[in-house]
Structure 1
Amino acid sequence: MIHSAATVRKRVRKKDIENGRWANLPTELLEIISKNLNIADYLRFGEVCRSWRSFFSEYKQNFMASQSPLILNISKNAGQSCDFVELDSGIRYKSNLSEYFHNFIFCLGVSRGFLIMKNYVSCYFWVVNPLTGQQFNFYRTPKFSDSVRICKDRAIFASIGSQDQDQDFASIGSQDQDQDFALVILSDSKANLELYTSREDQWKDYSYTGKHCRILDMIVFDGSIYVVTIDNKIGIFNVRSLVVKFLNLKSAPSLSWRIRLVVSNDQLFVVDFITLCPVKVYRIDFSTMEWVGVKDLGGQALFIDLRGERCFKLMKSGGRSNHVYVLSDYECKIYPFNDAEHTTLLSCKWKFRAKTFCWYFVDTSNSIDNIRDD
């Protein structure tokens, strides 16, 4: 569980809780208290007593949705923990994880609130939510290419078949036998997709050939896995048939190999960040089936992970509107959209070199992506 130096539990005396002095506070007052808490204290807030826990459960999604992204740091000497930094205040938190955490040497990405870690020695995949402690373990037979030392693979973790597209993590149990989960790996070295489903307990491969068919990124959108190729084709990957069906889209631009898919407000975007000044953003208009250039981000901000190139997001809360936040080399720089001038917003320094340094989006940490099983 994540924690900080000052917590609600330290401020409230146990005997006062037992005497009911704090347990019977009205909802209005609890709302005022919760609005003045940081993330670590808010999580502790839900542990104080039964009535506070009930309030926490009811309003946690609204609280998380209002928070700025955190910067996640996992150092090579992390042991059993990872660090978080608040973007605005610079406050640092530490999250204690499993005793096996230090064995997982590569982070393949952040799928909503879950970190997807991999150990190349044993070929175990470990999926963990550092805010809740939930974890899932998957094993795959080692392959020759697993010996590479630098991993540029990316991954998606999602449930399969649920009607709820944004399932709350409270309804999900670790290794839940009644829920089917999927782990999808986009391999950079082998140029293929690897799919594992927990119900079948086996790995399947989707391979694609040809210099114009290389998949650069994937994302869950509208209950399906969307992919984008190096020649700017967008398709839907079917987890049952292991086939990619490409869309017939008009006005496709000429983009670089550094493109990523982003979902925001039930819309699909493509971000080209070969140059940061300016970043190119395109929206896929499904009503006209064409690419549309985005000239203004409006009330949203774009967050780019330049170092690992795995965590991108376009969102309303948590940043200056119509700005681009770029995370690289232990710094966060902010650019006005379509403007070369930047400001260094935050400089983070740790004692040990990071093996993972990326964005962690708190607003989606309470849920899991869902893929339709059709």
Structure 2
Amino acid sequence: MVMQGDSDINLKGLRRKKKKMVDNRNRRPWSELPDALLYMITKLLGTIDYLMFGCVCRAWRLYAVANRQEFMASQPPLSCCFYNIFDGRKYKAKLPNVVGKICCRISYGYLVVEDQIDAVNSQIWLINPFTRHELRVLSPPLEHNRVILASLETPLSKFVIIAFRRYGSYLPFCRSTYADWTHSVYKRKLYAITTRAGIGVVNLNSCPYVTPLEVKSIPNLKGGLWLRGTDEQLLLINAIGNNHEVYELNLLKMEWVKMQNFGDQALFLDYYEGGLGFSNKTRWKDSERPFNGRYCFDRDNTDIWFHFMDGRPDQSFPFMGRKCMPNTFRFKPSWYFPHESCNVDLSLKSQD
């Protein structure tokens, strides 16, 4: 019998003999992973994780940039405080110093931030809270209460910043390639509606003008009107209290057609027009949230309601666990669509 500690067997030597040599010659580096595998990896990622994924190596960064639009479109819209309504995850974005500023709206995935006190050097500040791209321009010389972004379909990526007042007769704008307010040539057409659902095309040329479209009117139209353009549709949303009617413009017949069914889509609305848009359910990842209807916040911002198009009873679920929403920028809850910022991001990158 051999007592512990008295053995003359070289245990250390035995361990060395059992150690296997690993041959790394047949292993491929991370940068050479096939696109099919990278696709499987990115399907498991959220918005922030996807941006970090592009920082691993050059090959992954190229893949992330090439597929960014498709990936961002697959992400469900976030509320302005970056709360994912499908999986409950919260996102915190480190923003620059915003003391003395107010976030007035969201446009093309950018926060539109303005100085609270008007001054000679007041600025409009556009911030992408995820990529941290930003652009600052001096506030327009004329009074305004709305600022929006519009991406330009030109050979070079550009976008235009438009400031306007609801009942004003002027339309100051500036282009991304020259951050100053001007009235120079822009051939991009913008659709606009009147308070009575008249629609026209705004041409931003040296002498801006509106070309009315001969569209059949909608009888008995009441309440607020919103115009929303998607890749394939031009929509008119008529808000009457808590009810919303959605019309699609039929360009062949030049008439508004009331939508009775959204199919695989859902409409996201808020009471303050800060965020509204369609999102396709087929792009949502592993979500059991309903579709073919509209999502909106309640008046107290504690719940999100879903109204079915087929007449089923409405559903609701708590927003952020019904915790009080932080009074960041004094901004009401709104919807944030991550993919909408992609075109503007490319424009800003091309100017760096």
TM value normalised by structure 2 = 0.76
Q: Is the 8 A contact 2:140 2:181 kept in 1?
A: no
Structure 2 match to 1:361: 337
Within-5 A mapping of 1:47-58: 47-58=55-66
The one-character-per-residue Cα deviations of 1:48-78 (angstroms, maximum 9, x if unpaired) are 22232222222222211111101112xxxxx
1:332 aligned partner, one-letter code: I
- Residue 248 of structure 1 aligns with which residue? 214
Distance in 2 (alpha carbons) for counterparts of 1:29 and 1:197: 40
Tell me what 2:77 maps to: 69
In 1, the alpha carbon distance for the partners of 2:315 and 2:203 equals 42
Over 3 Å counting, the alpha-carbon distance change for 1:119 and 1:190 in structure 2 is farther
Moved more, 255-264 or 24-33: 24-33
Distance 1:369 1:38, change over 3 A: closer
Q: How big is the shift at 1:132?
A: 1.6
Check the 8 A contact 2:109/2:341 in 1, yes or no. Answer: yes
Question: TM-score by structure 1 length?
Answer: 0.71
| Counterpart amino acid of residue 173 in structure 2 | L
- 1:95 aligned to 2:74? no
1:196 to 149, 156, 174: 174
The one of the two structures with greater contact order (alpha-carbon pairs below 8 A, sep at least 6) is 1
| Contact persistence 2:110–2:129 (CA under 8 A) | yes
CA 1:337–1:35: 2 relative to 1, 3 Å:
same
User: Across the two proteins, how many residue pairs are aligned to each other?
Assistant: 301
Q: Percent identity?
A: 29
Contact 1:159 1:369 in 2 (8 A): no
Q: Which deviations, in whole Å up to 9, do the C-alpha atoms of 1:269-308 show, x marking residues without a partner? A: 101121334x2111111111111111111221111022x2
Q: What is the CA–CA distance in structure 2 between the aligned matches of 1:47 and 1:91, rounded to whole Å?
A: 22
Q: Which blocks of at least 5 consecutive residues in structure 2 are unaligned?
A: 1-26, 347-352
- Aligned residues of 1:232 and 1:254 also touching (Cα < 8 A): no
Give the letter aligned to residue 119 of structure 1: D
Paired AA for residue 290 in structure 1: E
1:121-173: CA deviations, max 9, x gaps? Answer: 13311112222211111113666x67xxxxxx333213556147xx5xxxxxx
CA distance in 2, matches of 1:352, 1:261: 29
Which sits farther off after the overlay, 348-357 or 121-130? Answer: 348-357
Query: 1:298 aligned to 248, 251, 263, which one?
Result: 263
Query: What are the ranges of 5 or more consecutive residues in structure 1 without an aligned counterpart?
Result: 1-18, 74-83, 147-152, 168-178, 205-221
Verify: 1:131 aligned to 2:110, yes or no. Answer: no
Partner of 1:9 in structure 2? none
Residue equivalent to 1:175: none
State the 1:340 CA deviation: 7.5
User: Cα RMSD over matched residues?
Assistant: 3.0
Amino acid at match of 2:161: L
Higher fraction of strand = 1
Equivalent AA in structure 2 for residue 102 of structure 1: V
Task: Classify 1:186/1:320 alpha carbon distance in 2 versus 1 (closer, same or farther; 3 Å).
Answer: farther
In structure 2, give the amino acid aligned to 1:281.
V
